[in-house]
Amino acid sequence: MSARKAAMILYRFCWLAFVALLVADLVADRLVPYGLVLVPAAAAILIGLLVGRRRADLAADRPAVEVGPPVTGRWTALNSPADKVPSHGTHGYGQTYAIDIVAEPEEGSRPPFRWLWPVARPNRDFPAFGAPLLAVADATVVHASDGRRDHLSRNSGPALAYLMLVEASLRDMAGARWIVGNHLVLDLGDGTYAAYAHLRRGSLRVRAGDTVRAGQLLAHCGNSGNSTEPHVHFQLMDHPDLDVARGIPFTWRGIGVPANGEVFAAGETVGDGW
């Protein structure tokens, strides 16, 4: 086991210990000294900072790897590394240069964020849900995870608050697979791996060990894991294990790296309006 993997396991253990001690203190008054409750939380924060700094140092100055786009059609970029790095506010899970994209078809509309109502929407209301996801290069599938449900959207004030304050923390303590939901990891060769996250449950068309060609259908866009709405989360990284991976910059052939809010068109549409 690598030092980075061991650090991530210890990180989660510290947070779980903090929650357990906090609950014990609430249920049984003064069961443990109050100061002791904070020790594992402080340790977890310290580990997170040290691991994050190490990942940032090692990820610096990596050249961008050119790959094909993972989608076709008209999309909008969110949380783009063209605007800031780390793009998602963390180096964790290899997300340093990750990007999120949402479908913006010429016809139809993507439901806007609402402060109060409706609190949540069904996934079918979002044009990205069910969009085909394609291999960005010739590759080998090294990990394919399915089975997690596509939950309702979190694109309202109350739902987003719940996600940020409660759900995201619980998912982080449970491990990477609860953050990324259903996902795929491809080995592109030369120590570069591509990850696709938040896939639609039951949509995987490949499994670990399969060899795929650039442009091949892999799965469909979903809303599993730590996600506000159906969207594609894509990233390149230097290891197939999300716990220890460091991010690698990417550029999409013919597109580049779209900035936040930038609308772009990719490839030819394929089947079912895509």
Task: Provide the pLDDT for residue 55.
Answer: 56
Sign of the torsion formed by the C-alpha atoms of 262, 231, 118 and 89? negative
pLDDT at 192: 97
In angstroms, rounded to a whole number, what is the distance separating the alpha carbons of residues 258 and 32?
A: 51
From the list 26, 57, 38, the residue with the least C-alpha distance to 246 is 57
- Given this model, what pLDDT does residue 271 score? 42
- Report yes or no: 173 and 140 within 8 Å, Cβ to Cβ: no
CA–CA gap between residue 212 and residue 206 (Å, rounded): 8
Structure confidence at residue 22 (pLDDT)? 64
Neighbours of 3 (CB within 10 A): 10
Instruction: Give pLDDT tens digits along the chain (274 positions).
Output: 676 777 777 777 676 676 676 666 666 665 666 666 667 667 766 766 666 655 555 555 678 999 999 999 999 999 999 999 999 988 888 999 999 999 988 665 787 777 888 887 899 999 999 999 999 999 999 999 999 999 888 887 887 786 677 777 677 776 788 889 999 999 999 999 999 999 999 999 999 999 999 999 999 999 998 888 899 999 999 999 998 899 999 999 999 999 999 999 987 544 444 5
Chain-centre distance for alpha carbon 243: 12
Residue 219: predicted pLDDT:
98
Q: Which amino acid is at 268?
A: E
Output phi, psi for 11, to 5 deg. Answer: -60, -50
**pTM (predicted TM-score):** 0.81
Per-residue pLDDT at 167 = 74
From the list 83, 118, 102, 198, the residue with the least C-alpha distance to 151 is 198
Beta bridge pairs of residue 101: 77, 232
Q: Give the whole-angstrom CA distance, residue 9 versus residue 11.
A: 5
pLDDT of res. 30: 57
Token code pair at residue 14 = 């510290």
Q: What is residue 90's predicted lDDT score, i.e. its pLDDT? A: 86
Please choose, from the candidates 145, 106, 110, the residue with its C-alpha nearest in 3D space to the C-alpha of residue 124: 110
pLDDT score at 145: 94
Q: For the chain, where are the E strands, in sequence order?
A: 65-67, 73-78, 99-103, 132-134, 139-145, 183-189, 192-197, 211-212, 217-220, 232-237, 247-248, 250-252, 263-266
User: Rounded CA gap, 274 and 255, in Å?
Assistant: 18
Which residue pairs, CB below 8 angstroms and at least 24 apart, start in 57-64? Answer: 58/246, 59/91, 59/96, 59/97, 59/246, 59/247, 59/248, 62/248, 62/249, 63/249, 64/248, 64/249, 64/250, 64/251, 64/257
Residues 6+ apart with CB under 8 A from 45: none
Structure tokens at 188: 């592109």
pLDDT of residue 272: 45
